[in-house]
Structure 1
């Protein structure tokens, strides 16, 4: 079933320029359609060249469009095969995206569409729209999941989203969570066993680190950077940002 499925999707091959390594020639940037087929564990089993261009490391070998990993152990498979799809998205959007996939695999819906922030092997990010659809098998549970990601051009602002380093201390993270939840200095001090002066000191440090002029802008900036998880309450800082 899956070979027939991916054969019907080879229209997307013309969206990328492929070099000798199987990834797109560097410097070429345009909207692309990344297609992958996942097994029920969300492991990547098949993908097209646009997908390799965004997610495979530059050293990955040349592959056929929408080809499964080679069965011959003497032929190295692209490093993208066998990876879990969750590892390719930014930590700030993983939890809500995995909930969507969970509902899909449980049969509560047959497809979903959402915006996504994806991570390249270099640590760079790109944003785009993602559509996932369940592929029926011989039983009631889906046999696979087809994922189509429409990416846009990378921009300088995208660099703000990716965590280049662990930015926050543990206490900074707890204070940021409290501010995002609407707490003022006094309840924050009581909750974290700090003096009011201590809370204000850490707030000032956070404003400087995130280059925000006030607390409202601090929270907005944290969400824009992906430092706060999306779709959870109370707000939580993504672990990737904590030292």
Structure 2
């Protein structure tokens, strides 16, 4: 194995261990690899991201700024730039850096999600709060529906609205976010 191949293997091992959501793509926007943190943020696995177009996964908030950044990266006027992006479950800043290795040029992508500030926490209705509490206590949709006098579809409706409003991909993340933001009390059980 030559030195370049050995360094590439070390880099890929390091990439998988980085806690920062990071990916590599070719100049045409096709993802070559992404670490688990990047995939988790997008609600999938690294293998399912390979060979996908970055533009299909992340949409720039301002298309003109994004096009200017890509143009300056292609012409090598800049080696790095930031762009505000959104994806299915969140928003954040995508940093794009040009990496050149002998005959190969790739783009290093670093995605930093915009944190939800306590001021950004939506006001919850009593029904949403009840659904959240029962979910945190481990109730299924059917069990919560029975207890609240709703249908399972009604509970799922409220859960999906909560997932969207808190910009999280699943129930576990929703409950964790609710505890983190102080919506649920960590000192009582069942959750209040």
The TM-score with structure 1 as length reference comes to 0.40
Give the structure with the larger helix fraction: 2
Name the structure, 1 or 2, with higher relative contact order (CA <8 Å, separation 6+).
1
Larger strand fraction of residues: 2
* TM-score scaled by length of structure 2: 0.49
